[in-house]
């Protein structure tokens, strides 16, 4: 890679790190190309970018970003997941690392919070945005249903009582 291409790569990576809400760093040593392609496809389906990085150049790219604390993680065969949804990327990587022991999650950043391996795994257990919305709707609907049944109960009791009286 010549100097101009390196500079372009650094600028592109800096922009990607700055624009991503979540960055998760992994080691991929021992994964086959088929496994890497499978992981990339899973990530791509959710709008997540999974890139194999050049460590020295990536360290230069993150120096001026909020991700500079992650520079220690860039050694060895490193790949990065860049996304707007930390929960989904953490879930996919955690599940894949359980299926393929060669993928090692090293840590990451979510917003401004630095995550270690346990932090990434904790994020993976959180409900996704859609699941959280469904839970909130369920919580909000439940009291309304209870109020409606309480309000209708006296009327139904009166109707039952009048029905019984009319049968006699």
Could you report the per-residue pLDDT of 56-113, keeping only the tens digit for each?
888 888 888 888 888 888 888 999 999 988 888 999 999 999 998 899 999 999 888 8
Among 36-45, 57-66, 101-110, 135-144, the range scoring the smallest mean pLDDT is: 135-144
As beta bridge partners, residue 113 has 110
pLDDT the model gives residue 24: 92
Q: pLDDT averaged over the chain? A: 84
What tokens appear for 85 in the block?
A: 């949804």
- pLDDT at position 45 over 90: yes
Indicate the pTM of the whole model: 0.73
DSSP string, 83-115: ES-HHHHHHHHHHHHHH-TT-EEEEEEETTEEE
pLDDT the model gives residue 145: 67
pLDDT in tens, 111-123: 888 888 888 888 8
Comparing 145 with 68, which gets the higher pLDDT? 68
Q: What average pLDDT does this structure show over 123-133?
A: 79
pLDDT the model gives residue 65: 84
pLDDT the model gives residue 40: 92
Residue partners of 165: CB distance under 8 A and separation at least 6: none
- pLDDT at position 153 over 70: no
- pLDDT at position 135 over 90: no
Q: What average pLDDT does this structure show over 27-39?
A: 91
- pLDDT at position 164 over 80: no
- What CA–CA distance (Å, rounded) separates 163 from 48? 63
């Amino acid at each position: 890679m010549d100097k101009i291409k390196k500079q372009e790569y650094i600028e592109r990576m800096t922009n990607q790190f700055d624009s991503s809400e979540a960055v998760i760093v992994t080691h991929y040593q021992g994964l086959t190309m088929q496994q890497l392609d499978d992981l990339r496809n899973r990530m791509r389906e959710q709008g997540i970018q999974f890139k194999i990085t050049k460590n020295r150049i990536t360290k230069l790219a993150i120096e001026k970003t909020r991700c500079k604390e992650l520079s220690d993680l860039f050694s060895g065969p490193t790949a990065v997941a860049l996304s707007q949804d930390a929960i989904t990327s953490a879930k996919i990587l955690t599940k894949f690392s359980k299926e393929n022991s060669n993928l090692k999650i090293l840590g990451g950043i979510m917003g401004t919070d630095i995550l270690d391996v346990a932090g990434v795994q904790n994020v993976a257990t959180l409900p996704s945005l859609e699941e959280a919305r469904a839970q909130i709707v369920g919580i909000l609907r439940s009291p309304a249903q209870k109020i409606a049944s309480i309000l209708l109960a006296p009327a139904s009791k009166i109707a039952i009582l009048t029905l019984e009286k009319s049968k006699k």
